[in-house]
Amino acid sequence: MSSCCLCSSSASRHEGGKLRVGFYAKSCPKAESIVRGVVQQAVAADQNTAPVLLRLHFHDCFVQGCDGSILIDKGSATDEKHAFGHQGVGGFDVIERAKAEAKGPRYEVETGRRDGVVSDVRLADGMPDVADSIHKLRAKFSQKGLSDKDLVLLTAAHTIGTTACFFMTQRLYSFPASGGSDPSINPDFLPELKSTCPKDGDSNVRLPMDRGSEQTFDNQILKNIRSGFAVLQSDASLYQDKATKSVIDSYLGPRSSSFEADFAASMVKMGRIGVLTGSRGTIRRVCSSPN
């Protein structure tokens, strides 16, 4: 949880300069319960809230660190929130509660982050893209201190939520290697995708990212990737590389690793990227304002 709107800057400084679970227990004891209640209501009212908050958590952390800068609204076309796919902001405890409501694993969220003041869409140029090769994806995650295992697990957040046909056009109709459809798509799945996203159709039509399990947080997304039923090109590419393929297989065998526990660990790890603590950063009194 970024500290804007909840706790005073003096309280944040006095609590110390490191992230920890329960950071605001003394200075702002009701903060987490307030966030929990609001998010539970929002997720119950709209099933899209949980996946949207997961995406926003990822986008905020990958652009100059987990500092809530995606929230800033200066009324400019260069604001970070205008990076394609960004729709707003979620705090870190908000993410936890949203995912819990989506039947995902519960985990304790470290708090104590201070807010950034820079919001620039150009800083989002290094965000992972659906058309990135597996080598480029691995490199982008590595630059953030995240491993191949983290890449697989955080991508598996696509187990809930939808995407737009806009992101499917190249994969279905002009895939670079073939000039037609991506050959990694299961032949039984291709007609279904083309029916939902016809050539020259409405690019805003939505489809689930996890076929058959889009409202449940589980490892079905990994099964789909292995079987050629991945929706996004970037998801499918995870099974085309030895390192990431072995990670996927480790969650699908008879003696599989704990997908939910490992996903939670990767979320905590991502939540530490580029954080501002102690006297670094600020506390935005108005969450959408850089001042």
Q: What is the pLDDT of residues 253-281, one digit of tens each?
A: 887 879 999 999 999 999 999 888 888 87
Does the annotation place 65 within a ligand binding site?
A: yes
Does the annotation place 262 within a ligand binding site?
A: no
Does the annotation place 152 within a ligand binding site?
A: no
Name which of 138-147, 148-157, 207-216 the model is least confident about. 207-216
pTM: 0.85
pLDDT at 42 over 50: yes
Does the annotation place 67 within a ligand binding site?
A: yes
Q: What is the pLDDT of residues 190-237, one digit of tens each?
A: 999 999 999 999 999 999 999 999 888 999 999 999 999 999 999 999
pLDDT given at position 272: 92
Mean model confidence pLDDT for the chain: 83
Catalytic positions are 59
Give percent above pLDDT 70 in the chain: 83
Residues in the chain: 291
Does the annotation place 159 within a ligand binding site?
A: yes
Average pLDDT over residues 12-25: 70
Does the annotation place 35 within a ligand binding site?
A: no
pLDDT given at position 73: 74
